[in-house]
Amino acid sequence: MADQKDNIDDFKVQTAKHPNMTSAPLRPHSEHSKDRASKRLSTESNGTSDGGVGSSTPVEITALEESFRRFAIHGDTRATGKEMHGKNWSKLCKDCGVIDGKNITLTDVDIVFSKVKKKSSRTIIFDEFKVALGELARKKYKDKTGEEAEAEVFQLIEGKSPVISGVTRAVASPTVSRLTDTTKFTGSHKERFDETGRGKGKAGRVDIVDTSGYVSGYKHQGSYEKKVTKPTAGRPV
């Protein structure tokens, strides 16, 4: 009993010296691991790293790069947006007004694309994309300096998205009109449609047998039933 009392007194003394020792509960090791994983994922999502230069500043995407990604993935569900092939490069220059038909033509766009891309590659990355725009800018705005010309072309592209053309309308053809005009049908085909051109359904495909008991074309059908079923009230018995 004396030893137990001494241990209790020692605990009270330690508590008095360190009042915050029992205020924070101990956390399991698994929770500490979760916190470290959450911190790492948060850091990676911001494009930073622990101890890296400028670790508090997330990576921002410029309006020009965003437009590059939009056109890069256009028409290709497997595209990542990091590379652009020649077809979408030509579409970007056309939709954004880089091609004017005078200083810049579609041929100029194709030549610049082949010039900036790697020999063994069929696509260009964003850095090569900017170099290509610089080539076209100096050709499009000859009266301006290189930086001013690039700024003008960048402004044409920033914030733009691919233009999606509308649905192709069907062209009216005399042959199609003749084949779909029900008023000109003959024979059994004519029997499948009524006067308005609407299909009769099964009645136009199958001969339905008349089981009413009347001959075909009889105009007074149902008159006999009316006579038989007349009320007999007031008649003498």
- Tens digit of pLDDT for each residue in 97-108? 999 988 999 999
When pLDDT is cut at 50, 70 and 90, the band that residue 53 belongs to is: very low
**Domain carrying residue 108:** 61-154
What confidence tens digit (pLDDT) does each residue in 76-124 have? 888 899 999 999 999 999 999 999 988 999 999 999 999 999 999 999 9
CA distance 93 to 163: 11
Residue whose C-alpha is closest to residue 69's, from 59, 83, 56, 87: 83
* pLDDT at position 55 over 50: no
What confidence tens digit (pLDDT) does each residue in 112-159 have? 999 999 999 999 999 999 999 999 999 999 899 989 999 999 999 999
The enclosing domain of 143 has a CATH number of 1.10.238.10
- Asked if the structure places residue 93 within a domain, the reply is yes
- Asked if the structure places residue 36 within a domain, the reply is no
% of the chain residues with pLDDT over 70: 68
- Asked if the structure places residue 32 within a domain, the reply is no
- Asked if the structure places residue 144 within a domain, the reply is yes
- Asked if the structure places residue 6 within a domain, the reply is no
Per-residue confidence (pLDDT) for residue 167, from 0 to 100:
54
Contact yes or no for 73/79 (Cβ under 8 A): yes
- Asked if the structure places residue 104 within a domain, the reply is yes
* pLDDT at position 44 over 50: no
Question: Which pTM value belongs to this model?
Answer: 0.47
Q: Count H helices, E strands: the chain?
A: 10, 2
Residue whose C-alpha is closest to residue 86's, from 117, 52, 127: 117
Domain count, the chain: 1
Calculate the average pLDDT of the chain: 75
Contact yes or no for 162/91 (Cβ under 8 A): yes
User: Which of 69-95 are b and which e, b meaning 16 or more Cβ less than 10 Å from the residue's Cβ?
Assistant: bbbbbbeeeebebebbbeebbbbbbeb
Does residue 49 or residue 21 have the better pLDDT? Answer: 21
- Asked if the structure places residue 123 within a domain, the reply is yes
- Asked if the structure places residue 34 within a domain, the reply is no
Which two structure tokens, joined as six digits, stand for 145? 């300096």
